[in-house]
Structure 1
Amino acid sequence: MKRTHLFTCIALLTIGVLLLSACAGAGIGGKKARVALVTWGLVTGDPYNALAYEGLKKAETDFGLEVAVNDEGQTASDWEATFRDYAGQKFDLVIGHGWNFADIATKVAADFPDTYFVVIGGMVEGDNIASVVFLDQYSGYLAGVLAALMTKSGIVGTIAGFEGEGVYYEVNSFYQGVKATNPDVKALIAYAGSWDDPAKGSELATSMIEGGADVINHYAAATGLGGLEAAEKAGVWGINDVVTCKESSPNTCLTSHDVLFNNIVYDIVKMHLDGKLEGKVYYWGLPEKAVGLGPIHASVPQEVIDQVNAVQQQMLDGELQLEQDYSQPDW
């Protein structure tokens, strides 16, 4: 009886220790893990940064982390100091949310070998730095397939923020999907010269609609939201970038080509806590749930949805593989 009682006490003590460890939060080397997120703008009001922050907060809840974010409207001149500040405070992991942090993070990582750095959208690697490239050509292609199936006029327009390789490949991926589905569709492309000019986006979309376009797609951040509002007023379809477009066009939001930054940030944190994060470039797409189509409008016929899903399955099965085409769009 005494021996049984002893074993029972030991078992209860072990369970208690495990529960205390769990309550203390996930840790590295026995201490509570600390993770910082550096963004190029505010996390409130900007869908790109808001999604990344959402992933960070979920990781905080699930893993019991201490987290921080530079939600202070910083400019480019502040970024290096922000990275150095978090590393100097001995954060275990610092995530730079944007390709524009690649050089800065690489420079700072060399001075803080005990902190791990990850850049989302960049292509850097090293002893204590990694990066994640999101393969959004797949979500763009799928949106193009849907646009080609839903246009009645045979004219599909796209508003882009700026000219440049980083935008060209997105526009190309969309029209690759359009043309693969219906090569007779006419492509309209306009560059706004701004990420933050909804009035310009509305102007460009209105011009396209007057030219016969009945689907307006965009890769133009807040500028593109103005285009979606113009599409809503005209009663034509709109396709949003990164997040769903229901707030801007609740009645004519066809879908969105999403980059699921919430999943990306969450998975980066989990990999680091599990000791699986390596100093290399990761390429994440549909299988990793880093990209995908947003909700499709309820009025879209099931046979159209089935066609889009069939193309997506080809991608998942490896039958349809897409490269990022950085050439100037000429459709």
Structure 2
Amino acid sequence: MKLRSLIAPLIAIPVVAVLAACSSGASAGGDATSSAHELKVAVVLGGLANDGGFNQYAADAAHALEKKGEITAQIRESVTTSSDAEAAFRQYASQGYDLIIGWGLDFANSVFTVAKEQPKAHFIATGSADILTKATANVETWTYASDQQGYLTGWVAGKTGLSPVGVVDGQLAPFNETTYKALTLGLKDANPSATELKPIFTGSWEDPALANQAAKAQIAAGAKLIVTGAEGYTPGVLSAAKAGGIATLGASSTSSSDAKAVNIGLVKLDFTPTLEEVVRHLQKGDFGKHSYTSTIANKGLIFADINQVGAAPGLPKDIADQVDELAKKLASGELKVPSVG
């Protein structure tokens, strides 16, 4: 799960969704007295809405609130350039959308550019932790705790009892370097005797053949569990794991037909609580200057798609309850995720 750039629709979200937005007649600036179901929300994605990863997390949140009757939503998929993003933001602002979300690291500058031109429109910009200080009167900002995402992934990996643990991913970059440092900490906290193999980064988010080769290399080196991501390359990892009789962690249940056989789950984002809070601010008329971080404690980061597979017999049957208990301890301050430095 990454705040991917537009270069490779990270968690591109399939579903060229055009969720018909029932016109509410609201102005671009919204109406503090409007009820939630009148709010029109546009989500602009760098990829597909059904990618099983980062892009889908935003689409799923919008769909969830739409099903509850709180908003109507429009999803714009596969926007891959800054100029196209800005055009989309301007379009939705001119059409009177109450909230426009630029979902992805490389959309941030475009969001702020258009927000200055459209001061009565409301936007959400997403990015790394530094974006939290950039909220304005008409732009709220969001990120997720990548250290906690990595820590929880490692913690669950440790709970499986499987070792050595290998990693196969697309690229090592600033946005996920912290994740992998924290993964090591979580793994050791849950299973001090666990060992790790040198991670393999193929350089491509979309090439399953390269990922398949990398996964086979990890298996040949002794990996009993491969940590990966929900990306275009993921089917290659899953097929190698199935053939090698080992487990994976981090793929989506929809990544490929092999996921059911080998993948024990993933730490995913739930953007729904944040979007609900943003909607409340719009309703109350106090939108602006707010920033949000999805964490384990606030259930913005959750362990999902839990799947008991034969290659991971040690995965606790109550792993979901154990994760909930961890979240409670983090929320209360009883525990803290170790600093990655």
Q: Does TM, scored on the shorter chain, surpass 0.5?
A: yes
Superposed CA deviations along residues 279-312 of structure 1, whole A, max 9, x for unmatched, are 2322231233211111433353347776655544
Q: CA deviation at 1:125?
A: 0.9
The aligned runs of 1:1-331 (5 Å cut-off) are 28=31, 32-45=38-51, 47-63=53-69, 65-71=71-77, 73-76=78-81, 77-122=83-128, 123=131, 124-152=134-162, 154-188=163-197, 189-219=199-229, 221-240=231-250, 247-298=257-308, 300-302=315-317, 310-322=325-337, 325=340
Superposed CA deviations along residues 232-252 of structure 1, whole A, max 9, x for unmatched, are 222211111577768542022
Measure the CA separation in 1 of the matches of 2:90 and 2:53.
26
Measure the CA separation in 2 of the matches of 1:138 and 1:243.
22
Measure the CA separation in 2 of the matches of 1:262 and 1:203.
36
Superposed CA deviations along residues 208-231 of structure 1, whole A, max 9, x for unmatched, are 011101111014622234212321
2:88 aligned partner, one-letter code: T
1:35 aligned partner, one-letter code: V
Measure the CA separation in 2 of the matches of 1:243 and 1:167.
22
Report the count of equivalent residues: 301
Contact 2:146 / 2:178 at 8 angstroms: preserved in 1? no
Q: TM-score, normalised by structure 1?
A: 0.79
- Inter-CA distance 303–243: structure 2 relative to 1 (3 Å threshold): closer
Q: CA deviation at 1:102?
A: 1.1
Helix, strand or coil: the match of 1:322?
coil
1:52 aligned partner, one-letter code: A
Superposed CA deviations along residues 231-278 of structure 1, whole A, max 9, x for unmatched, are 122221111157776854202222211112344444433442343543
Measure the CA separation in 2 of the matches of 1:254 and 1:151.
13
Superposed CA deviations along residues 139-198 of structure 1, whole A, max 9, x for unmatched, are 43222122123244x310112221211010111221110122334422221111111111
Q: CA deviation at 1:106?
A: 0.9
Q: TM-score, normalised by structure 2?
A: 0.77
2:180 aligned partner, one-letter code: V
Measure the CA separation in 2 of the matches of 1:171 and 1:192.
15
Superposed CA deviations along residues 77-130 of structure 1, whole A, max 9, x for unmatched, are 411111112112222210111122111111111111110110233513111101
Helix, strand or coil: the match of 2:266?
strand
* Higher helix content, 1 or 2: 1
Moved more, 226-235 or 296-305: 296-305
Moved more, 31-40 or 168-177: 31-40
Contact 1:52 / 1:97 at 8 angstroms: preserved in 2? yes
Contact 1:205 / 1:227 at 8 angstroms: preserved in 2? yes
Report the structure number with the largest CA radius of gyration. Answer: 1
- Unaligned residue ranges in structure 2 (runs of 5+): 1-23
Q: For residue 10 of structure 1, what is the aligned residue in structure 2?
A: none
- Unaligned residue ranges in structure 1 (runs of 5+): 1-23
1:107 aligned partner, one-letter code: T
1:75 aligned partner, one-letter code: T
Contact 1:244 / 1:295 at 8 angstroms: preserved in 2? no
Contact 2:43 / 2:74 at 8 angstroms: preserved in 1? yes
* Higher strand content, 1 or 2: 1
Measure the CA separation in 1 of the matches of 2:294 and 2:285.
19
